[in-house]
Amino acid sequence: MSSVRRARPEDAAEVLRLRQRMIDSLWGAGSSGPAGPADRHAESLPRLRERLGEEDGDFAAFVVEGAGRPGRPAAPVAGTVEYRIGWAGNPRERVGQVFSVVTDPDARRRGHARACMTELLAWFRARGAGHVPLNASPEAYAA
């Protein structure tokens, strides 16, 4: 397996493509609403590129490139650190929110998503996130 790295602005199109695969697997193809994925991606691509370029922001994505896929992520994960009113289990008031955990079908069962999640969780810890909920698809639970 290739090493995990922080996603860069030039990864934005692939991150969006893989996110769409995840959305389609959860809610079915065509679940993009009235605007198709291409329209929505065209709108969100500039902002995602910008956010991926923010080293110290509240958003991060990590990717791994599969064998034979230089420059093309096989698995991205993304997340944000958000404020929540503090409680006994999380007095720092920071929560890590995970989304877009997906692996291209031809690159599955190689530990890519797990490796990316390990990096994302370390990133959350470094930012003081005391709680990290994760919703997963039925397919992910079966893995």
What gap in Å lies between CA 135 and CA 1, rounded to an integer? 25
Q: How many domains does the chain have?
A: 1
Q: Which amino acid is at 47?
A: R
* CATH number of the domain encompassing residue 84: 3.40.630.30
Task: Give just the sign of the alpha carbon dihedral 12, 96, 32, 72.
Answer: positive
At residue 77 the predicted structure's pLDDT band, cuts being 50, 70 and 90, is: very high
- What pLDDT does 132 receive? 87
Mean pLDDT, range 95-119, rounded to an integer? 88
- Token pair for 79: 């997340």
DSSP assigned state of 111: S
Task: Return all residues near 140 (Cβ < 8 A) that are at least 6 apart.
Answer: 101
Domain that holds residue 65: 4-142
